[in-house]
Homo-oligomer: A and B are copies of this chain.
Amino acid sequence: MTDPELRYQAILEKIQQRGGRLTSHRLALLRLLAVSEGHPNAARLYEELRAQFPTISRATVYKTLAMLKEAGEVLEIELHNDSHYDGNKPFAHPHLVCTRCQRILDGDELAPLQNIGQQIARQYGFLVEREQVVFYGLCPDCQKTPEA
């Protein structure tokens, strides 16, 4: 895990390079993405931002996220009608979603998935550009506690 402050600076500089404006709304959103441990969704980000900026709109959140995704500084984890965002590791990697506590764990370091693109090309002649790999189940914590 990179230092949140460094990550924040990196995203910030990328936006400046691209000629994007750094408004107070955007700065706050960047900070949330860089600092937040988890993988928030748009609704969560909106709620947290509203505490500071009561007038902010959802569209601003979505547009900024789209811009950051376009810039390659944020990864969208496409869950059914509820995308979450990863501002710390903006490259494709598997995710483990707990169906009980809703936590999202990073599942990189899974060897079989490392060169899967090559195998898909060999086996199906299909050229992979982007992937979305999600495993749903129970995280270690929730396995310990019996069903609510």
Contacts and interface: CB of A to CB of B under 8 A. Distances in A.
A132 B143 CA distance: 21
What does DSSP make chain A's interface, helix, strand, loop or mixed? mixed
A80 interface: yes
A137 interface: yes
A136 B130 contact: yes
Nearest to A120: B135
Contact of A110 (B96, B120, B130): B120
B109 A112 contact: no
Contacts of A120: 96, 107, 110, 135
Given A80-B78, A96-B120, A127 B109 contact: no
Interface in A104-148: 105, 107, 109-113, 116-117, 119-120, 123-140, 143
Contacts of A132: 132-136
17 contacts: A96-B120, A96-B124, A96-B128, A110-B116, A110-B119, A112-B119, A125-B143, A126-B137, A126-B139, A127-B138, A127-B143, A128-B135, A129-B136, A130-B136, A131-B135, A131-B136, A132-B135
